[in-house]
Amino acid sequence: MTVLSINLNKVALLRNQRNIDYPSVTGMARIALQAGVGGITVHPRPDERHCRKSDVYELSEMLAKEYSAPIEFNIEGNPTEDFMALVAETRPQQVTLVPDDPDQNTSDHGWDILGNKERLTEIIERLHAQSARVSVFIDHEPEIALAAAEIGADRVELYTGPYFECYFRDDREQVLSQYKNTAIAARDAGLGVNAGHDLNLDNLAHFLQAIPWTDEVSIGHALTADALIYGMDGAIKAYLAEIAKK
Ligand SMILES: CC(=O)[C@@H](O)[C@H](O)COP(=O)(O)O
Ligand SMILES: NCC(=O)COP(=O)(O)O
């Protein structure tokens, strides 16, 4: 079963437009969990333009207090010391390492693992010491999946921005086969496979039909936009129905 993890960044972005406390990030997490998501994702950036550190603490506390079965809390980000401290205090089940710069609008590439091998290996060891599963955000190249296994990652997250971009182009199947080869390399190396970025109701089922062993998809931007049309509960059910088509 592929887990749907809702990324709450865009709920936080809307909340941050005013100096008031709605829409509530934790409130929306509760609605999403009630509707059937299996995980909560946040990607706090240093400028706190989306999820703030306070959201991460509140979500961590809410999940621990209100849910007896473990809900996967996934924190994404570039592992600066500030980020590592936040993770150490909020104890997510999964940490997704993403190589984004503070001034980057959104994530737009995976890691150069070989160029960051020592740093990433050390970070992964520290996260494992806290019992967190570690996923590494990568581009769709099989050698990078192998490099992720070498540095001790548990999973890779395939950056699906390029898949979104080609979805209505003639080269879609060619690009998708590169994703599939990367997912095969990851699986053969013993890694789990996550995927995310600009997955939506158009492109999700087709991706999962090609790579049905995908462990998790994290979706935020499109899901939040769809929630304006269908409501959060309706949008999540629509995404779960797409996942069920695989
Ligand atoms: C790693 C990844 O692809 C997502 O976390 C993405 O960065 C979310 O984008 P926003 O933070 O722009 O919502
Ligand atoms: N890891 C990807 C993610 O969390 C959501 O990305 P997007 O759906 O907001 O593009």
List of residues 6+ apart from 1 with CB closer than 8 A: none
Atom 1 in ligand 1: residue holding the nearest Cα = 107
List beta partners, residue 77: 97
What b/e string do you get for 173-188 counting C-beta neighbours within 10 Å, with b at 16 or more? eebbebbbebbebbbe
Instruction: Find out whether the beta carbon of 220 lies less than 6 Å from any atom of ligand 2.
Output: yes
Query: Rounded to an integer, what distance in angstroms lies between the CA atom of residue 43 and that of residue 219?
Result: 12
List of residues 6+ apart from 89 with CB closer than 8 A: 57
Distance 134 CA to ligand 2 centre (A): 17
Ligand 1 pocket test: pick from 52, 76, 155, 165 the residue with the most ligand atoms within 8 Å of its Cβ: 76
| Strand ranges (E), the chain | 3-7, 39-42, 72-77, 94-97, 133-138, 155-159, 192-196, 216-219
Phi-psi region of 188 (alpha: psi -120 to 50; beta: other; left: phi over 0): alpha
Binding region for 3-amino-2-oxopropyl phosphate: 7, 18, 198, 220-221
Instruction: Read off the amino acid at residue 196.
Output: G
Instruction: Read off the amino acid at residue 70.
Output: P
Instruction: Find out whether the beta carbon of 10 lies less than 6 Å from any atom of ligand 1.
Output: yes
Give the pLDDT of the chain (246 residues) as one tens digit per residue: 999 999 999 999 999 999 999 999 999 999 999 999 999 999 999 999 999 999 999 999 999 999 988 799 999 999 999 999 999 999 999 999 999 998 899 999 999 999 999 999 999 999 999 999 999 999 999 999 999 999 999 999 999 999 999 999 999 999 999 999 999 999 999 999 999 999 999 999 999 999 999 999 999 999 999 999 999 999 999 999 999 999
Atom 2 in ligand 2: residue holding the nearest Cα = 196
Atom 5 in ligand 1: residue holding the nearest Cα = 43
Q: Of 140, 157, 197, 242, which is the active-site residue? A: 197
Is 206 annotated in the active site? no
Q: Which residue range forms the structural domain that includes residue 34?
A: 3-244
Count the domains in the chain.
1
Instruction: Find out whether the beta carbon of 203 lies less than 6 Å from any atom of ligand 2.
Output: no
Tokens representing 240 are 């779960």
Atom 10 in ligand 1: residue holding the nearest Cα = 106
Query: Rounded to an integer, what distance in angstroms lies between the CA atom of residue 198 and that of residue 161?
Result: 6
pLDDT at 70: 79
For the CA of 197, the closest atom of ligand 1 is 3
CB 179 within 8 A of CB 145: no
For the CA of 76, the closest atom of ligand 2 is 1
Is 43 annotated in the active site? yes
Q: Distances in Å between the alpha carbon of 168 and those of 151, 160, 233?
A: 35, 14, 28
Q: What is the CATH number of the domain that holds 195?
A: 3.20.20.70
